[in-house]
Amino acid sequence: MSTAAPFAFLVHPRGRIAQDLARIWRPLGRVPEGIVETAVRRLPPYAMSRILLDDRPVGHVVLVPFGARHLLSEPHEGRARVGRAIDHAARLGAGVVGLGALTATVTAGGATLRGRTDIGVTNGNAYTAAIVEDQLLDLVADLSDRRVAVVGATGSVGTTLVRLLAAGGSVDSLLLVARGAVKLQALAAEVGGRVPTTTSTDLHDVRGCDAVVLLTASADALLGAEHLAPGARVLDATQPRNTSPDLAAARPDVTLVDGGVVEIPGMHLRGGDIGLPRGQAYACFAETFLLGLAGHVGHFSTGVPTLDHVSHIRGLADRFAHHGFTAAAPASFGRPLAAAR
Ligand SMILES: NC(=O)c1ccc[n+]([C@@H]2O[C@H](COP(=O)([O-])OP(=O)(O)OC[C@H]3O[C@@H](n4cnc5c(N)ncnc54)[C@H](OP(=O)(O)O)[C@@H]3O)[C@@H](O)[C@H]2O)c1
What digits encode the pLDDT tens for the residues 219-267? 776 899 999 999 999 999 998 899 999 999 999 999 999 999 999 999 9
Ligand 1 pocket member 154 (CB < 6 A): yes
Range with lowest mean pLDDT among 15-19, 43-47, 87-91, 307-311? 15-19
Q: Is residue 85 part of a domain?
A: yes
Mutate to test the pocket of ligand 1, among 203, 216, 289 (most ligand atoms within 8 A of CB): 216
Q: Helix or strand or coil: residue 258? A: strand
Q: Which of 168, 148, 172 is nearest to 233 (CA)?
A: 148
Reported as a single tens digit per residue, the pLDDT across 174-207 is 999 999 999 999 999 999 999 999 999 999 999 9
Residue nearest to atom 26 of ligand 1 (CA): 216
Are 89 and 168 in the same domain?
Answer: no
Q: Is residue 158 part of a domain?
A: yes
Residue 259 CA: which ligand 1 atom is closest? 1
pLDDT at site 13 = 85
- Cα 156 to middle of ligand 1, angstroms: 7
Residue nearest to atom 28 of ligand 1 (CA): 218
- Cα separation, 54 vs 318, in Å, equals 18
- Cα 4 to middle of ligand 1, angstroms: 31
Ligand 1 pocket member 283 (CB < 6 A): yes
| CB-based contact 153:128 (threshold 8 Å) | no
pLDDT at position 28 over 80: no
- Cα 212 to middle of ligand 1, angstroms: 14
For residues 320-325, give the mean pLDDT: 98
Sort strands 331-332 and 335-336 into parallel, antiparallel or unpaired: antiparallel
Identify the residue with better confidence: 217 or 210.
Answer: 210
Are 335 and 197 in the same domain?
Answer: yes
Are 239 and 336 in the same domain?
Answer: yes
- Cα 152 to middle of ligand 1, angstroms: 5
Are 193 and 336 in the same domain?
Answer: yes
Are 187 and 65 in the same domain?
Answer: no
pLDDT at site 1 = 40
Are 15 and 116 in the same domain?
Answer: yes
- Cα separation, 339 vs 56, in Å, equals 33
Are 158 and 113 in the same domain?
Answer: no
- Cα separation, 103 vs 82, in Å, equals 6
Ligand 1 pocket member 204 (CB < 6 A): no
Mutate to test the pocket of ligand 1, among 99, 179, 242 (most ligand atoms within 8 A of CB): 179
Percent of the chain whose predicted confidence (pLDDT) is above 90? 80
pLDDT at position 321 over 50: yes
pLDDT at site 21 = 65
Ligand 1 pocket member 221 (CB < 6 A): no
Q: Which of 116, 119, 115 is nearest to 9 (CA)?
A: 119
Ligand 1 pocket member 282 (CB < 6 A): yes
Ligand 1 pocket member 284 (CB < 6 A): yes
Q: Is residue 299 part of a domain?
A: yes
For the chain, where are the alpha helices, taking DSSP H only? 17-21, 33-41, 68-73, 75-91, 102-105, 125-139, 156-168, 181-191, 245-250, 283-293, 307-319, 337-340
pLDDT at position 36 over 70: no
Are 293 and 173 in the same domain?
Answer: no
Mutate to test the pocket of ligand 1, among 174, 215, 276, 288 (most ligand atoms within 8 A of CB): 215
| CB-based contact 262:274 (threshold 8 Å) | no
Are 218 and 336 in the same domain?
Answer: yes
Put the strands of the sheet holding 326-327 in their side by side order. Answer: 280-282, 261-263, 326-327
Q: How wide is the angle at C-alpha 112 spanned by C-alphas 38 and 163, nearest 5°? A: 110
Are 210 and 113 in the same domain?
Answer: no
Identify the residue with better confidence: 21 or 165.
Answer: 165
- Cα 57 to middle of ligand 1, angstroms: 31
pLDDT at site 143 = 96
pTM: predicted TM-score of the whole model, two decimal places:
0.92
pLDDT at site 274 = 87
For residues 284-306, give the mean pLDDT: 97
Q: Is residue 175 part of a domain?
A: yes
Q: Is residue 1 part of a domain?
A: no
Percent of the chain whose predicted confidence (pLDDT) is above 70? 93
Are 135 and 84 in the same domain?
Answer: no
Number of domains into which the chain is organized:
2
Q: Please name the residues in contact with 7: beta carbons below 8 A apart, sequence gap of 6 or more.
A: 51, 58, 59, 94, 95, 96, 97, 98, 288, 289, 291, 292
Q: Which of 129, 126, 132 is nearest to 296 (CA)?
A: 126
- Assign residue 159 the CATH number of its domain: 3.40.50.720
Put the strands of the sheet holding 7-11 in their side by side order. Answer: 120-122, 96-99, 7-11, 56-63, 46-53, 267-271
| CB-based contact 315:288 (threshold 8 Å) | no
- For the chain, the average pLDDT equals 92
- Cα 303 to middle of ligand 1, angstroms: 12
Residue-number span of the structural domain to which 211 is assigned: 127-260+330-340
Phi, psi of 59 (to 5 degrees): 180, -175
Q: Is residue 2 part of a domain?
A: no
Q: Is residue 60 part of a domain?
A: yes
pLDDT at position 67 over 90: no
Beta bridge partners of 96: 7, 120
Q: How wide is the angle at C-alpha 48 spanned by C-alphas 156 and 79, nearest 5°? A: 40
Are 192 and 336 in the same domain?
Answer: yes
